[in-house]
Structure 1
Amino acid sequence: MLMTPFAVFAQNKVSFNLSPTTIEDKVEPSSEHSYSMRVENRGDQGTVLYPVARNIATIALDHQPVYVEGADANATELASWITYSESMLDVPAGGSATLHFTVKFPADARPGSHLAGLFLTQKPPDLKEGSAVGFDIGAILHFQMAGDVKEDTRMRAFLTDKLIYGSPNVIFTVEAENKGNTLSRPQGLIDITDMFGKKVESLLVNETAYVISPNSTGKYEVKWQPEGFVIGHFEAVVALVIPLVDGGNQTISSVTSFWILPMNIIGPVVGGLFTFILVLYVLIRLYVRRQLAGVVGTRGGGAVRGARGISRLAAVAIGLLFAIIVGLLILFFYFG
């Protein structure tokens, strides 16, 4: 997808339907091609619309086109190669009109993608900016020029917004970079596996087929909100497939991992274990003191040696118990 159609509403009811909203074609240098675009007026009054084209510099991270700025921004490239059969369209309320236009591609047109927006506007093209108030409706033009086409899409990043989640609400971010000179349209899957290697979910990436313009980056977010009880360590593998001009495909992939540790469950378990260790420690201390009291009453000087021996034994017992509990926790969270 290159864009979605849009409309700007004025005081009166203004509603238009434009088709197609995207025109794509493969072309040769020095060739000439004709196209048409139909606009339907669903508003309550007729209007006159004027065609105007604007060159697209790139596609932003939010998948919206960024237009070339400046006084001569449309004096070259694709916007300047278009001629219109109709200089204006008179579209009555409830009626429709068709714009016919021709694109003549120069002999020295560079290989790769050429992008422009073709708009129907209430402002005549020769009117200066700010001298009239109106609205634009438009479509995207994309022409793939033959020649030395370079196709090279790379994985720039694949990550989650957190390493550890307290609840199963994971957001994946996939960033792909287009190093080529033609549009890239990556689509694919994120496969999620649990700590046992079992696949628990497959998520679609770029289901709406947003494109990445040459020498720019595309960003796609995918959410995973599984139902039911989820806990442990998870691994996610993303694989993107990019269609190529010659009919083949390029595949890129990456891996990330994350934890889901529900604190409403982990908290009470850890608290209970801590309480158990604390109570055990207090009981051992009481036992030691009781033994010391007996030794002091019967052996006098031997009491000191007995106290040190029993205290050291208690410390070792507590340390071993704590190590066992920590080991069990690690085994539980890592192996389930």
Structure 2
Amino acid sequence: MWNVNRRSYEVCLYALVLGVAYYHCTSCGAVVSIGVAPPIVELTVPAGGAHVVDLNVYNQGDSPLILRGYVTGLELSRDGAPIPLETGDGDWSCADWIRLDKKEFELQAGEEELVHATLRVPRGSTGGRYAVIFFEGTPVLKNPSPWDVVLATRVGCIVMETIPRTLVRDGEILKMEVSKSEGEVVFTVDFSNKGNVHMKANGCVLIADSEGRIVDRVPLDVVTGTVLPGGIREFEGTWSNRRKMKTGEYTGEVRIAYGGHRGVLRMVTFRLEGE
């Protein structure tokens, strides 16, 4: 982000690293290392209720820092990486429900600060809601120059709120594709969360020959498997067992389970030649 005026030339570099962030500021010589604990908070607060979360923000660097706290919405990428929204917007955001008792404060090197984050759930709210509480730190310059390059970094705590007795869990496999390359068969599956609360999904592909016999089982690679409401998660699995890969027709049956449910199924056929 560029902020240019007649007296200063400032570059702010933002990096989302949940839990801890570190960099070395070459212009001022400061080692900036900030952290927040816990990095993830999972809550179950009913509609009309409130809950206070204690967050410990600490300066592990060697220079004083100015810390600024704020809250944004949250999405997840197709591979499950957190994507903070730059506002509190979003159909499934609870950013506007969270208030911090400290929004700006200074931390000396080695110090930590306790920040209270209060979540108030409006009456009539349903499902799951999500946000990131950020703390953004910039070093305190002793002898600032108009041409200093000032770097800011931020750490975040993910908030995952579930409103009890209002939850709908539903998922759907949108598509399943098969590709073959250099003796491997790659299964790519798009799974959509059709419910109103996050879920943790996992799955596999059962491979059967033309006579219906199961010849192999391929797990779908996933780290956490978390899918937010309205989100789409891409799963991938690779079949590379050459001993079982004979020429012929095959059927791949993908099975994805989520939230205690037995899950959803989809099938695809493919042929191997000269394996």
Shift of the 95–194 alpha-carbon distance from structure 1 to 2, 3 Å rule, reads: farther
* Residue 260 of structure 1 pairs with residue 275 of structure 2: no
- Give the aligned partner of residue 7 of structure 1: 21
Cα distance in 1, alignment partners of residues 242 and 163 from structure 2: 48
Which digits, 9 at most, give the CA deviation of each residue in 1:130-172, with x for residues without a partner? xx7411111211111235432221111122124xx5x322221
Q: RMSD between aligned alpha carbons?
A: 3.2
Q: Name the counterpart of 1:156.
A: 174
Comparing both structures, which one devotes a greater share of its residues to strand? 2
Bigger drift between 77-86 and 176-185 goes to 77-86
Distance 1:197 1:43, change over 3 A: farther
Q: What is the percentage of aligned positions where both structures have the same residue?
A: 20
Match in the other structure for 2:62: 44
Aligned partner (choices 125, 131, 147) of residue 116 of structure 1: 131
Contact 2:43 2:161 in 1 (8 A): yes
Q: 1:4 to 1:227 in 2, by over 3 A?
A: farther
Residue pair 2:20, 2:33 contacting (<8 A) in 1 also = no
CA distance in structure 1 between the aligned counterparts of 2:263 and 2:64, rounded to whole angstroms: 50
Conserved? CA contact 2:80–2:233, under 8 Å = yes
Give the one of 225, 232, 235 matched to 2:240: 225
> TM-score under structure 2 normalisation?
0.73
- Per-residue CA deviations over 1:244-292 (Å, capped at 9, x if unaligned) read xxxx4241111223333347xxxxxxxxxxxxxxxxxxxxxxxxxxxxx
CA gap of 1:226–1:44, structure 2 versus 1, over 3 A, is farther
1:21 CA drift (Å): 1.9
Give the match for residue 184 of structure 1: 199
Partner of 2:77: 60
Partner SS for 1:62: coil
Distance 1:85 1:17 in 2: 18
CA–CA distance in 1 between the matches of 2:52 and 2:270?
52
Give, in whole Å, the separation in 1 of the partners of 2:187 and 2:18: 24
Structure 1 CA distance for aligned equivalents of residues 238 and 57 of structure 2: 37
2:36 corresponds in structure 1 to 18
Give TM-score, length-normalised by structure 1: 0.61
CA offset at residue 111 of structure 1? 0.4
Quote the residue 1:249 is aligned against: 261
Residue in structure 1 matched with residue 50 of structure 2 by the alignment: 32
Give yes or no for contact 2:19–2:38 (8 Å, CA) kept in 1. no
Report if aligned partners of 2:70, 2:103 keep a CA contact under 8 Å in 1: no
The 2-side partners of 1:179 and 1:236 are apart by 24
CA distance in 2, matches of 1:4, 1:238: 32
Query: How many aligned positions are there?
Result: 243
Higher relative contact order (CA 8 A, sep 6+): 2
Letter matched to residue 192 of structure 1: I
Report the CA distance shift for 1:220/1:91 in structure 2 as closer, same or farther (over 3 A): farther
**Alpha-carbon distance change, 190 to 40 in structure 1, aligned in 2, over 3 angstroms:** farther
Letter in 1 for 2:264: I
In terms of fraction of residues, the more helix-rich structure is 1
Change (3 A) 1:77 1:214: closer
Provide the rounded CA distance (Å) in 2 between the counterparts of 1:4 and 1:197.
Answer: 46
Task: Return the offset for 1:232.
Answer: 2.0
1:7-59 CA-partner distances (Å, limit 9, x unpaired): 36342433344332221122211111111223444433342322210123x43
Query: Per the alignment, do residues 210 and 17 of structure 1 end up closer, same or farther by CA in structure 2, a change over 3 Å counting?
Result: farther
Aligned-pair distance for 1:179?
A: 1.7
Contact 1:186-1:206 within 8 A present in 2 as well = no
What SS does the aligned partner of 2:168 have?
A: coil
Distance of 2:152 and 2:69 partners within structure 1: 13
* Match of residue 231, structure 2, among 177, 198, 216: 216
Q: Deviations over 1:221-260 (max 9, x none)?
A: 22333355733233322211111xxxx4241111223333
Q: Return the offset for 1:105.
A: 1.5
Corresponding position of 1:205: 220
In structure 2, the residue corresponding to 1:80 is in which secondary structure? helix
1:321 aligns to what?
A: none
